C-alpha cells in the first residue's frame, strides 16, 4: 500500500476571519504600508481596512445578500485587496474573472454563477460591454473606468456614497462559500470551484508553516489575482506583511522591484525564473532582502536552479496543487539542497512530500492501493480543498469521495513519501495494453532545438486501440522532419511509447491561461468514435 507519511494535522480555529486579522494588524500600526501596486497606488493598513468596509457597505447598498456572487474583472491592482476583504465583510462570494478570456467566456461564467454584481476595471469594461445583453438578468454593473458605459454605475461615486460606514460584519460559518474560482477548462467547460471559509482558514495556517518569509514580510505578487496562488498571497496581510502588486510580468521591471522594494519573497513559474535570468545585468543587482522564491506548475532544470540560486542568493521551494486544493505537497529548500548536492538528484523531478495536514494516496484503476514506485491516480485529503463544484452535484461526487479529492493526476510515491507526477489521467494513452504517459514523450521531443512545445495524444488504431501521435510547435526559423523526431524518441524511449506519426504546426491551440488544449487536437481523430476510458 502506498500512502504518504502524514504530517501532523494543522490545528486551526473554526474560522480565522481574514478581515478581522487585517484589522488587528491595523490597530498595531495603522500607518504601516499594506499594499502598493506598480501604478503607484498605496494603501496603509488603516486605509485598507477603511476602504474594505466602505466597499462592503456599497455592496449592501445594491441589495446584495449573504451568499450572492460578486464578480471582479480586473488586472492586478491595489484595489483588488480591498474588494477581496469587502466581499468577506459583506458575506458575499467573490468570483474573480480571468482577464485573458474572451467576452463571450466572461458572459458564460457570469451566467453560470448567477452573478448579482460585476465590478469591471479599466479597458476590460469596454470589452465586456460588447456582450452586455447576454449577461445575467438583473446584474448590477459597476465600472472603474474613464467613461462608464451606458447602464453602468461609476465606481468612485458608488464607493464615495458609502463614506464613513459602520464596522459591522457578517458572521462567516466555516462551510460557507467565500470564493468561486473557475477552472481553465482544458478538458471542457470551466467549472466553478467553491472554496469555503474553513479551507481559507486552514490555508492561512498552512502557508505560515510552509513559508516563514510571508510572516511580516514584503511579498511581490506577480501572478494575476484570478489564479488561486495570487489570492493566497493576500493572507500575508494577516501576519503583518505587505504586498507589492505587479500589474503585468515585465522581467526587467520585476528585477528592479526585487532589488529596490525590499521584497522578501515571491512566487513564480519556472518560465518566469528563466526570463529573469536572461535579462542583461540581472546578476549585477542586489537582492539583499530576498529570503525565498517559491515556484510551481512545472519542474525546474538543475541548470536554471543553480543559476537562480547564484543570482538571487535565496532559498527555493516548489509547491504542487490545483484550484481544487491549492497546496498538496511541497519540495522544500532543504530538498533542493539535497538534489543539488548529489545526495538525491532525482528530487528535482519530484513535487515533494505532503504539506502539513495533508494525506496522499496512490490508487490503481481497479481501486487498490499502489505499491511504492507504482503509478496510479493521486488522491489527497486535506483541510485546504474545495467544498464542491458550483451547481454540479454529480461532478462534485465524482471527485470528492469520503473526504478524498481525486486530483485527476497520475503519479507515484517513493518509499520516503516523495511524490512524482506522471501526467493527467485523462491524457493517459493505452496502446496495445501498455500505458503511455504523454508528458514523458513530450519531454523527449522538447529536447530537440527546433521544438518549442509538444503535445502527445492518443489517436484511434484498429489493432492497438490507440496509437501515439505527437503535434509539435517549432521555431519559425527552424523546421524539422517528423522522422528525425521519431528517431530521437526511439533513442530514449521504449518502442511502444514512441509516436507513430507527428504533425508540425506553427502554434498549438491554447486557452487563456496558455495551457495546451489537447481535446481540440484529439477531436478530429475521435469524431463519431468513443475514446477508451
Q: Give the separation between CA 417 and CA 400, rounded to whole angstroms.
A: 23
SS3 55: helix
SS3 328: strand
CATH superfamily label, 249-426: ANL, N-terminal domain (3.40.50.12780)
CB environment 108-123: b (16+ within 10 A), e (fewer): bbbebbebbbbbbbbe
Listed by start position, the domains of the chain span 45-196, 249-426, 432-527
With beta carbons less than 8 A apart as the criterion, state whether 492 and 444 touch.
yes
With beta carbons less than 8 A apart as the criterion, state whether 475 and 504 touch.
no
With beta carbons less than 8 A apart as the criterion, state whether 89 and 51 touch.
no
What is the DSSP code string of 186-234?
TTSS--EEEEEHHHHHHHHHHHHHH-GGGTT-EEEE-S-TTSHHHHHHG
Q: Whose CA is closest to 165, among 51, 62, 22, 67?
A: 51
Query: What spatial distance separates the first Cα and last Cα of the chain, rounded to whole Å?
Result: 24
0.95 cut: is pTM over it? no
Q: Give the separation between CA 229 and CA 514, rounded to whole angstroms.
A: 16
CA pseudo-torsion sign 212, 213, 216, 221:
negative
Q: Rounded to the nearest 5°, which phi and psi values hold at 327?
A: -130, 105
With beta carbons less than 8 A apart as the criterion, state whether 406 and 398 touch.
yes
CATH of 45-196, picked from 3.30.1130.10, 3.30.750.200, 3.30.300.130, 3.40.50.980, is: 3.40.50.980
Q: Whose CA is closest to 388, among 375, 401, 377, 379?
A: 401
- Between helix 302-312 and helix 270-277 the angle, nearest 10°, is 60
Q: What is the largest CA-CA distance in the chain?
A: 73
Q: Give the separation between CA 355 and CA 5, rounded to whole angstroms.
A: 10
Q: Which H, E and C letters describe 407-474, residue by residue? A: EEEEEEECCCCCEEEEEEHHHCEEECCEEECHHHHHHHHCCCCCEEEEEEEEEEECCCEEEEEEEEEE
How many residues appear in the chain? Answer: 533
Q: Is 55 exposed, middle or buried (0-12, 13-18, 19+ CB in 10 A)?
A: buried
CB environment 195-209: b (16+ within 10 A), e (fewer): bbbbbbbbbbbbbbe
> Phi/psi zone of residue 469: left (φ > 0), alpha (ψ -120 to 50 degrees), beta?
beta
Extract the C-alpha cell encoding 499.
509516436
Q: Whose CA is closest to 492, among 448, 434, 427?
A: 448
- Between helix 18-28 and helix 45-61 the angle, nearest 10°, is 140
- CATH architecture label of 432-527: 2-Layer Sandwich (3.30)
CA pseudo-torsion sign 145, 151, 153, 154:
positive
Q: What is the pLDDT along the chain (533 residues), one digit of tens a residue?
A: 455 644 433 333 445 689 999 999 999 999 999 999 999 999 999 999 999 999 999 999 999 999 999 999 999 999 999 999 999 999 999 999 999 888 988 999 999 999 999 999 999 999 999 999 999 999 999 999 989 999 999 999 999 998 765 556 666 678 899 999 998 655 557 899 999 999 998 888 888 888 888 888 999 999 999 988 887 888 899 999 999 999 999 999 999 999 999 999 999 988 789 889 999 999 999 999 999 999 987 777 788 899 999 999 999 999 999 999 999 999 999 999 999 999 999 998 899 999 999 999 999 988 999 999 999 999 999 999 999 999 999 999 999 999 999 998 989 999 999 999 887 778 889 888 777 888 889 989 999 989 989 999 999 988 788 899 999 999 777 778 999 999 999 998 888 899 999 999 999 998 766 778 898 999 999 887 766 55
pLDDT at 32: 98
With beta carbons less than 8 A apart as the criterion, state whether 57 and 165 touch.
yes
* E-assigned strand segments in 324-431: 325-331, 353-354, 359-363, 376-381, 388-389, 400-401, 404-413, 419-424, 429-431
Using alpha carbons only, give the angle 441, 300, 311 rounded to the nearest 5 degrees.
150
Domains 249-426 and 432-527 share a fold: no
For 28, 31, 221, 413, the CA distances from 238, given in Å and listed in that order, are 12, 15, 16, 34
For 5, 108, 220, the CA distances from 111, given in Å and listed in that order, are 43, 5, 33
Q: Give the separation between CA 106 and CA 292, rounded to whole angstroms.
A: 35
Amino acid at each position: 500500500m502506498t500512502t504518504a507519511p502524514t504530517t501532523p494535522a494543522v490545528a486551526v480555529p473554526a474560522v480565522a476571519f481574514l478581515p478581522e486579522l487585517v484589522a488587528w494588524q491595523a490597530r498595531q500600526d495603522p500607518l504601516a504600508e499594506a499594499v502598493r501596486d506598480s501604478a503607484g497606488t498605496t494603501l496603509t493598513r488603516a486605509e485598507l481596512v477603511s476602504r474594505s468596509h466602505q466597499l462592503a457597505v456599497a455592496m449592501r447598498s445594491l441589495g446584495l445578500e449573504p451568499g450572492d456572487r460578486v464578480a471582479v474583472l480586473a488586472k492586478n491592482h491595489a484595489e483588488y485587496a480591498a474588494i477581496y476583504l469587502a466581499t468577506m465583510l459583506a458575506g458575499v462570494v467573490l468570483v474573480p474573472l480571468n482577464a485573458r478570456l474572451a467576452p463571450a467566456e466572461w458572459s458564460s461564467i457570469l451566467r453560470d454563477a448567477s452573478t448579482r454584481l460585476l465590478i469591471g476595471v479599466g479597458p476590460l469594461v469596454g470589452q465586456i460591454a460588447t456582450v452586455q445583453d447576454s449577461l445575467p438578468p438583473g446584474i448590477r454593473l459597476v465600472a472603474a473606468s474613464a467613461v462608464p458605459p451606458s447602464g453602468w454605475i461609476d465606481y468612485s461615486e458608488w464607493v464615495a456614497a458609502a463614506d464613513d460606514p459602520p464596522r459591522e460584519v457578517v458572521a462567516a460559518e466555516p462551510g460557507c462559500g467565500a470564493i468561486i474560482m473557475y477552472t481553465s477548462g482544458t478538458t471542457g467547460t470551466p467549472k466553478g470551484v467553491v472554496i469555503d471559509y474553513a479551507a481559507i482558514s486552514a490555508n492561512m495556517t498552512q502557508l505560515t508553516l510552509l513559508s516563514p518569509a510571508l510572516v511580516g514580510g514584503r511579498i511581490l505578487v506577480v501572478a494575476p489575482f484570478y489564479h488561486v496562488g495570487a489570492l493566497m498571497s493576500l493572507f500575508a496581510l494577516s501576519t503583518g506583511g505587505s504586498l507589492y502588486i505587479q500589474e503585468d510580468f515585465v522581467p526587467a521591471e520585476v528585477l528592479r522591484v526585487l532589488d529596490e522594494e525590499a521584497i522578501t519573497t515571491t512566487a513564480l513559474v519556472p518560465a518566469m525564473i528563466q526570463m529573469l535570468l536572461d535579462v542583461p545585468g540581472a546578476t549585477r543587482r542586489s537582492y539583499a532582502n530576498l529570503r525565498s522564491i517559491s515556484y510551481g506548475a512545472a519542474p525546474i532544470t538543475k541548470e536554471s536552479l543553480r543559476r537562480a540560486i547564484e543570482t538571487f542568493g535565496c532559498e527555493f521551494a516548489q509547491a504542487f496543487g490545483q484550484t481544487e486544493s491549492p497546496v498538496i505537497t511541497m519540495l522544500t529548500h532543504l530538498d533542493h539542497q539535497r538534489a543539488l548536492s548529489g545526495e538525491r538528484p532525482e528530487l528535482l523531478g519530484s513535487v515533494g512530500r505532503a504539506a502539513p495536514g495533508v494525506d496522499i494516496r496512490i490508487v490503481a484503476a481497479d481501486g487498490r492501493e499502489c505499491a511504492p514506485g507504482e503509478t496510479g491516480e493521486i488522491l489527497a485529503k486535506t483541510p485546504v480543498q474545495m467544498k464542491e463544484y458550483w451547481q454540479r452535484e454529480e461532478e462534485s461526487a465524482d471527485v470528492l469521495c469520503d473526504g478524498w479529492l481525486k486530483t485527476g493526476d497520475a503519479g507515484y510515491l517513493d518509499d520516503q513519501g516523495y511524490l512524482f507526477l506522471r501526467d493527467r489521467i485523462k491524457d493517459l494513452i493505452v496502446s496495445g495494453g501498455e500505458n503511455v504517459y504523454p508528458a514523458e514523450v513530450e519531454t523527449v521531443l522538447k529536447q530537440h532545438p527546433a521544438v518549442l512545445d509538444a503535445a502527445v495524444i492518443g489517436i484511434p488504431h484498429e489493432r492497438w486501440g490507440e496509437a501515439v501521435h505527437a503535434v509539435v510547435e517549432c521555431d519559425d526559423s527552424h523546421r524539422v522532419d517528423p522522422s528525425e523526431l521519431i528517431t530521437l524518441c526511439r533513442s530514449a524511449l521504449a518502442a511502444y511509447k514512441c509516436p507513430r506519426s507527428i504533425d508540425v504546426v506553427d502554434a498549438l491551440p491554447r486557452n487563456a491561461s496558455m495551457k495546451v488544449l489537447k481535446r481540440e487536437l484529439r477531436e478530429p481523430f475521435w469524431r463519431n468514435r468513443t475514446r477508451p476510458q
